[in-house]
Structures are given as structure tokens and as C-alpha cells.
Chain A
Amino acid sequence: QKEVEQDPGPLSVPEGAIVSLNCTYSNSAFQYFMWYRQYSRKGPELLMYTYSSGNKEEGRFTAQVDKSSKYISLFIRDSQPSDSATYLCAMTSGGGADGLTFGKGTHLIIQP
């Protein structure tokens, strides 16, 4: 079993739809959780950051962490064509030594 599992997609939805992206993980030591967005031929950029369990909302984006289920989600409301990108979940136990463990990314396409 891989440490972080993420459906690679592609996931194609119409503009304005609510998008749900998910990752599952196996390492219970993970306590910092991130979502990165990566446009084609660019480096990943940090989109959302959460610590431990709970929800966090920033604009159209909501991140949820359920540590008991080892499951994290990213919701995008009122999706726009500019949201079309690959979304990578990432997590770490902290301390820096292990860097970040990434999912393989979900390729999202928002159809105008």
C-alpha cells in the first residue's frame, strides 16, 4: 500500500460545479496537510494548508481533514476554467526530515 493514494483522474466537470478532490493515507504520524495546485509545465504552488483534523475555508476553497479515517478532501465551489490544473495533496509529520509525501495528483478539467 502506498503511503498516499490519490485518484489521478482526469476529472472533468462543467463550469460552476462543486469539485471534490480526495486523498487517503496510511501513516498516522502525518499531522500537517496541504493541497498544491500545479499548472502545466509549472512548479506546484501552495493552495491550502491545515494542521491536524478539521475544516479550513479560503474563498472558494475548503479543505477537510479526518485523521480518524486518514482521509483529506479539497472542495472547490463555483469552479472556473482557470481552476483547470493538477491538484496534489501533500502531508508530513513535521520536523523537516522527511520532506513532504505527495499524492500523484488529480488532473482537473473545468469545461466552459
Chain B
Amino acid sequence: EAGVTQSPTHLIKTRGQQATLRCSPISGHTSVYWYQQALGLGLQFLLWYDEGEERNRGNFPPRFSGRQFPNYSSELNVNALELEDSALYLCASSPTGTGGYTGELFFGEGSRLTVL
């Protein structure tokens, strides 16, 4: 069974540009979570999508946005890139979102975004 897949693996952008990152969850998983892992800061919760809806977002500005498609894949968009957006962006999926959620997440290998 395929795990969580993310693309691209690496992305280099300049300040002010936009970045789009993509994630395909494990088959049968309806919830997708996005995390940012910046150097020295640990994993920070960004966004949670379940059944096509944004359910919650972490403490990030509105220029971080995304969506979930009918096939449960997801896209993270970062507008007006800043140098401090340089990080590993991790996508994770779980079988359910609300009710029965127990915290077990299955992570992809991440997309490394470098902002110059």
C-alpha cells in the first residue's frame, strides 16, 4: 500500500513569489494535515482538511492557504513568500478527522522549500 506522497521534493523560490505544494494521502484516509518544520522550531501545525473542508488552522498568517480535492488529495499554497518560510513542509493523513481521532498520523517525506 502506498504511503503519503508529496511533491515536489525540493522547491526554490524568491521572496514575494508563490509556492504550491501537493499531497496525496494514504488510500482510504479522509483527513490531511499540514505541518511546517523550520530549523530549531519543531513541527508547527498549519492546516487540517477533512472531507474537503478546512476544519482548523494553526497560528499562521492568511497567506498560508490550501484546499482538499474530492479525491482527498490536498494542496498548500504560500503567497508572498518570506525568507522565514524556508522549511520542510510535511503532509500527514489519518483515517478519520472528527470522532475517533486518536492522533495517529502517517507522514510523507516532505517538501523542502527554500526562499532566497
Contact = CB atoms under 8 A, between A and B. Distances in A.
Interface in B22-36: 31, 33, 35
B50 interface: yes
B104 interface: yes
A77 interface: no
Interface residues of B, number: 31
Contacts, number: 75
Contacts of A32: 102-103
A98 interface: yes
B42 A102 contact: yes
Given A43-B90, A95-B98, A99-B56, A88 B103 contact: no
Contact of B103 (A42, A90, A103): A90
Interface of A: 32, 34, 36, 41-46, 49, 51, 88, 90-92, 94-105
